[in-house]
């Protein structure tokens, strides 16, 4: 009996190694596609239903450390970003594809960075294998083995929250190969997709209560961490800036179009709401193999996750899309606009009598 044991163990080992090799070879021989990322709120062109089998999808992101203006008053943030934007670009693949990301940290940067993909399995979501100092780059491949919208963020040892609240997060969307479906299995398609990244920011103030401006990241670090530890954000913004998605920067749609809104928050809870509209189908936790919820008024995005809401616009107008903690929206900045063109439907809503003096 005892003599058999090592043999069995060896056989098991051989089996698992062969399995490992087989899947690695599989990824190595799959077709490859190179995707050029685009800045949010836009998302790179992609198939909703996969037209072919799994492939290796290549992406490159370059880390940019830079000072960014985060409101209309000229307040600055010493930001750290994936590809220069807050949030970083949204990547789209299908379940069963392999994501192959090259992360570039130019030597003009000051900090080490990496990427932790919540969609990935093992090695701190890839953070351990992508840790790049200024002047280095690394390439990570992982299998997208579950569908959904997932946050990715920087997670360098000893300074994870600072890098995240300085701008380093984004979303990857892993679509089911057959596309999105309602709970009855009916196909759900979108005409447009927008990606919104919400950030809580912690800008230090000077003795006179004025926001401080720093020349370098390193200089901003001590004061910023002190503000962070109070857990009271100075700003809460969509896409890096108060007003990044309002007025002239509003998202657009037409009556009859179905829009997918991806909403991520890598650090803090939030609750998106579309004033005057709804979430027809909402994957609140963002995971497409769970049935979506119907007709939501407000949905909850847990800090460290990304959710997705699908809505077909029925009326024209300017819709506010905001965090329905209204103080966070109106006082701190967490709001955007969706400008919708089309014909008004009186059946859905009509002003029967305009405001006028109360009859005496």
Residues that bind Cu ion (CB under 5 A): 113, 154, 163, 168
C-beta of 94 vs 268, nearer to Cu ion: 268
Active site residue 68: no
CB of 227 to Cu ion, least distance (A): 19
- Which of 37/154 has CB closer to Cu ion? 154
Record the tokens describing residue 166, joined without a space: 């300085």
- Cβ atoms of 329 and 323 within 8 Å: the answer is yes
Q: Which residues have C-beta within 8 Å of that of residue 278, sequence separation ≥ 6?
A: 295, 296, 297, 311
Taking the complex as a whole, the smallest distance from the CB of residue 154 to Cu ion amounts, in Å, to 3
Q: What angle do CA 101, 153, 36 make, to 5 degrees?
A: 35
Contact 314, 258 (CB under 8 A): no
Q: Which residue is nearest to Cu ion (CB)?
A: 154
CB of 265 to Cu ion, least distance (A): 17
Given the residues 80, 154, 173, 228, the one annotated as active site: 154
Q: How far is the CB of 148 from Cu ion (least distance, A)?
A: 24
Residue 44 designated active-site: no
**CA pair distance 82, 91, nearest whole angstrom:** 12
Q: Catalytic: which of 64, 71, 97, 116?
A: 116
Decide if 278 is catalytic: no
* DSSP 3-state of 228: helix
Of 90, 149, 153, 235, the active-site residue reads: 153
Give the residues across from 152 on adjacent strands.
117, 170
**Which candidate, 59, 128, 67, places its Cα nearest to that of 93?**
59
Choice between 116 and 198, CB closer to Cu ion: 116
| Active site annotation includes 263 | no
Closer to Cu ion by Cβ: residue 163 or 192: 163
Q: Closer CB to Cu ion, residue 267 or residue 285?
A: 267
Residue 339 CB, shortest distance to Cu ion, in Å, is 34
Containing H/E element for 323? strand 317-323
HEC profile of 77-97: EEEEEECCECCCCCEEEECCC
Catalytic residue among 47, 297, 331, 341: 297
Catalytic residue among 94, 235, 324, 337: 324
Q: Is 295 a catalytic site residue?
A: no
Active site residues: 113, 116, 118, 153-154, 163, 168, 273, 297-298, 324
């Amino acid at each position: 009996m005892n003599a058999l044991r090592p043999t069995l163990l060896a056989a098991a080992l051989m089996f698992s190694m062969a399995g490992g090799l087989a899947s690695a070879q599989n990824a190595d021989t799959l077709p490859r596609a190179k995707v050029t990322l685009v800045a949010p709120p836009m998302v790179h062109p992609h198939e909703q239903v996969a037209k072919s089998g799994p492939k290796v999808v290549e992406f490159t992101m370059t880390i940019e450390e830079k000072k960014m203006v985060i409101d209309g008053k000229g307040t600055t943030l010493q930001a750290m970003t994936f590809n220069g934007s807050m949030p970083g670009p949204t990547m789209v693949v299908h379940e069963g594809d392999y994501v192959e990301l090259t992360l570039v940290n130019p030597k003009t940067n000051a900090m080490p960075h990496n990427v932790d993909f919540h969609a990935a399995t093992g090695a701190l979501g890839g953070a351990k294998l992508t840790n790049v100092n200024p002047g280095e780059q690394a390439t990570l491949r992982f299998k997208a083995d579950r569908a959904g919208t997932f946050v990715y963020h920087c997670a360098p040892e000893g300074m994870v929250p600072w890098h995240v609240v300085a701008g380093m997060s984004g979303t990857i969307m892993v679509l089911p190969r057959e596309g999105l479906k309602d709970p009855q299995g009916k196909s759900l398609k979108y005409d447009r997709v927008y990606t919104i990244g919400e950030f809580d920011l912690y800008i230090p103030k000077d003795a006179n209560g004025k926001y401080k401006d720093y020349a370098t990241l390193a200089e901003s670090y001590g004061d910023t961490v002190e503000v962070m530890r109070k857990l009271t954000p100075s700003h809460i913004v969509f896409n890096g800036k108060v007003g990044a998605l309002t007025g002239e920067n509003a998202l657009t749609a037409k009556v009859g179009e179905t829009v997918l809104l991806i909403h991520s928050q890598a650090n803090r809870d939030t609750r998106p709401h579309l004033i005057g509209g709804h979430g027809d189908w909402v994957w609140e936790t963002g995971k497409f193999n769970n049935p979506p919820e119907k007709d939501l008024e407000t949905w909850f995005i847990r800090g460290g996750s990304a959710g997705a809401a699908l809505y077909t616009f029925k009326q024209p107008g300017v819709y506010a899309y905001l965090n329905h903690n209204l103080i966070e929206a109106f006082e701190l900045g967490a709001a955007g606009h969706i400008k919708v063109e089309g014909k008004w439907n009186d059946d859905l809503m009509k002003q029967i009598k305009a405001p006028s003096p109360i009859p005496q």
